[in-house]
Amino acid sequence: MKTTTLYLLLISEFCSFKLSFSNFHYISLQRNYEDAKDYCRRMHTDLAAINNMTDMKDLIASVPNNTVRSWIGLELGNVSKWHWARPHQKVNFLNWKKGNPQGLGQDSCAAMDPQGEWFESECETQRSFVCHGNSDAPSDYIFVANTKSWRDAQKHCRDLSLDLVSVGSAAENKEVQNVSAAQNVWIGLFRDSWRWSDGSESSFRYWKPQQPNYREDRDCVAAIFKDDGQWNNLKCSSQRTFVCQGSSKVPATTQTSTNETLPTTVTTPPNNSTSGVVPFNSTAATSTQQSNTGGVSAATTQAGTRNTTQSSTVTPAGSSPPLTSGNLILIRENMTWMEALSYCRQHYLDLVFITGQSTQDQVAQMAQNATSSHIWLGLRYTCTFDLWFWSGSSADCYQNWAPGQGPPEHVYECGVTGAMVTTGGQHWVGLSETQQLNFICQDCAG
């Protein structure tokens, strides 16, 4: 009965909860940590900061399915601080036992004794523990008699959509003491020296087992996507892809006429074209190529000096002019799903998301003018969570899958994204993200 109720609650939440990962931007360049941070601060806001499991799911969804590891914005600081496991909860109440805390190692955890006093302990010690939800009701304190390390205890609580208990007052401390069965129990207080590069105070941590490893100057953190996005600390000099957060500081519709160096993002040239996907029209591209001494187009380099005037009308070099209807733009150039996503976010808002019949009808009408048999939609499947979602909108329950497609009728592998058939009923299908198709971008209304 409890399992059924939880399942229905999750379904209800998915139909209303915002699953957009537009705040995260995967950058395919290989950079050391400091260069990656500098790039993100110049082009977006900063390296990605993670506040909770919802952010982790969005982060995983923002990277290609074959990504191994990428830098995020967690780095080792100089000050060791106590944090509650519940992100952003202030440490404004303490009840240390005499002689505590003791300053054990670089990482340590806190436990409560039968008298309700706290003591510092090595995190690998096996203890019973108390989980807690977001409610302050005493019934939401759950004592778990099984003994686990602090990290494994936290995972147990998170698997129940809870967390290790945070204590914010003497009254709450008494409630935890009352349910602890007169045992030493883990509470959700821990100490470390890790900090977010954007200065945020999130205490959320998602380490792999046996991590962090403090040997060999491993002062920077990457998400390991083959391990469900769990974190490793690595040498900051390692060259890795990375994930930025925040909106772009170089919008495609901004009018400029200057010499500027534009770093390459996730896009790569489609169809083996030497033109690439660049934020300027074909006329400007020709002008740039002619002015580039040495005979190499700036569009084919990782970062080239471009003397160009950007405009809100964007046509990929060598393609048919885009077809516009309201705030939708059909790009009649074949690209992979990730290239299409990056192109739309660079020049407009996002790949099109369909959340109702009226948008479906509008997209279906435009799709008939495509030069490919299907067009990309902003719909993606993540095999990590067995979930279809829109890249830039809330997870509305509207669907238009072709017969035999979509959940639960069809089982998909990793690397599948959503497309619309351009003929017939314009139904949705799942295709490999490496296929190259036309696509529709969505801009801000008006």
433 vs 304: which has the higher pLDDT: 433
Q: Yes or no: say if 422 and 373 are a contact pair by the CB < 8 Å rule.
A: yes
Q: Quick one: pLDDT at residue 11? A: 36
Q: Where are the beta strands (DSSP E) in 217-319?
A: 220-224, 230-234, 240-245, 257-263, 303-309
7: pLDDT strictly greater than 60: no
Q: Quick one: pLDDT at residue 213? A: 86
358: pLDDT strictly greater than 70: yes
* CA angle (160 as vertex; 173, 391 as ends), nearest 5: 120
Residue 336's closest CA among 273, 423, 247, 426?
273
Mean pLDDT rounded to a whole number for the chain:
78
Q: Quick one: pLDDT at residue 40? A: 93
Percent of the chain scored above 70 by pLDDT? 75
Three-state DSSP at 409 gives coil
20: pLDDT strictly greater than 60: no
pLDDT digits (tens, 9 = 90+) for 103-120: 777 789 999 999 999 999
Percent of the chain scored above 90 by pLDDT? 43
Q: Which DSSP letter does residue 116 get? A: S
CATH fold of 16-245 reads Mannose-Binding Protein A; Chain A (3.10.100)
Three-state DSSP at 109 gives strand
pLDDT digits (tens, 9 = 90+) for 212-224: 988 778 999 999 9
Q: pLDDT band at residue 315, thresholds of 50, 70 and 90?
A: low
What average pLDDT does this structure show over 148-172?
92
Report how far residue 425's alpha carbon sits from residue 226's, in angstroms, rounded to the nearest whole number: 37
Residue 56's closest CA among 65, 48, 66?
48
Report how far residue 167's alpha carbon sits from residue 169's, in angstroms, rounded to the nearest whole number: 6
What average pLDDT does this structure show over 59-66?
91
Report how far residue 123's alpha carbon sits from residue 148's, in angstroms, rounded to the nearest whole number: 10
Least confident of 13-17, 55-59, 119-123: 13-17
pTM, rounded to two decimals: 0.54
pLDDT digits (tens, 9 = 90+) for 362-419: 999 899 899 998 999 998 887 766 778 887 654 456 788 888 888 777 778 787 888 9
Q: Which DSSP letter does residue 383 get? A: T
Residue 418's closest CA among 385, 384, 383, 389?
389
Sequence-separated contacts (24+) of 198-203 with Cβ below 8 Å: 198/45, 198/46, 198/47, 198/49, 198/73, 198/245, 200/49, 200/51, 201/88, 202/49, 202/50, 202/51, 202/87, 202/88, 203/83, 203/84, 203/85, 203/86, 203/87, 203/88, 203/89
281: pLDDT strictly greater than 80: no
Dihedral, CA atoms, 193, 197, 200, 206, nearest 10 degrees? Answer: -60
Delimiting residues of CATH 3.10.100.10 domain(s) in the chain: 16-245, 323-442
Least confident of 153-167, 318-332, 391-405: 391-405
Q: Yes or no: say if 177 and 213 are a contact pair by the CB < 8 Å rule.
A: no
What average pLDDT does this structure show over 176-188?
94
Q: Decide if domain 323-442 falls under CATH 3.20.20.80.
A: no
286: pLDDT strictly greater than 90: no
238: pLDDT strictly greater than 60: yes
